[in-house]
Amino acid sequence: MTLAVALLLASVVIAAGAPRYLRPGSTPRVHPSLSLCAWLVAALSMVATAFSAAVILLSPDPAVPDGAFGLATACWRAIGRSAFPWLLLTRLVIGLTVLVLLLRIGSVLTADLIDGSRRRRDHARTLRAVAREADGVWWVPGETPLAFSIGRFRRGVVVASTAVEHLDDDVAEAVLAHERAHLRGRHHLAVTLAHSMARALPRVPLCRAAPAAISVLCELSADAAAVNACGLPAVTGALHSMAPSAAPPSVVGFGAHLQARVSWLSRPRSPMLQRSGAISRGLAGTTALLPPLASAAMAAASLTMLCLSRTS
């Protein structure tokens, strides 16, 4: 029971407080991939800790050997004896409520993944009929520079208008490097997860803030990868040359969040721009979990001390 309370408190701290304590990390001094990793770890940890708490609350224990059914039976019998079972009833209600909320997230995410996959297949089928494939890029006729990527289609594809070919070589390469970074980072899946959580639980602060934060950080992460590959002048030139995003739904277009990206590129950055490896991302994810872990540890310690004081 103590573990369930600690996990539930950790989930609440993440859900309510993560937008506040993660926001300071979204600055030009921190690599955007690290900030993106922290947001994703927070979102997944909120779900994982809540699910673990629900499982513990509804699982069998020596006092109630039949799990959730046993809890309900014990509550009914206790009410019949006029002894209201506050603890058992609270356990049952909280566990079922958390489970229903998680099932809501799962159902919305599943529906969005299925719908997005269908849309991507339709877009790919249409584009394939008119596109010319070269160097892993689908070139479609167009006089306006436009580029986007379609994730979860085999390994994903990069689509660009033929107008991109007429840009300077370094600028065109920066555009393609940006879109390839989206595919490598599975940014399409991250954006889908964020929007699904917001649709499922719009009143939860983390779910409400996640779509905007994760969408921008995905674009900044792809820009950082393009800067490493092609240089800052090429990426800046690409941002000024490309049209605002006119990409179809369920794909990630180059023109998204242009103002935020131009602002980020124009600000001084620290050497952390070059450090986005596995160790750095692991540290970023761990940092995102420090506040909820501290809260959970304090809750567990307090309940343990309370139990010990009553038994002594």
Query: Are residues 239 and 262 in contact, defined by beta-carbon separation less than 8 angstroms?
Result: yes
Query: Quick one: tokens of 156?
Result: 């994903």
At 259-301, the pLDDT tens digits run: 778 777 777 665 544 556 677 777 777 777 777 778 777 766 7
* Percent above pLDDT 90 for the chain: 25
pTM: 0.81
At 119-168, the pLDDT tens digits run: 888 888 888 888 888 888 999 998 888 888 888 756 788 888 899 988 89
Q: DSSP for 31-59, please give it.
A: -HHHHHHHHHHHHHHHHHHHHHHHHHHHS
At 24-66, the pLDDT tens digits run: 777 777 788 888 989 999 999 999 999 988 888 887 654 544 4
Distance, CA of 262 to CA of 64 (rounded, Å): 59
Amino acid at 111: A
Query: Are residues 237 and 265 in contact, defined by beta-carbon separation less than 8 angstroms?
Result: no
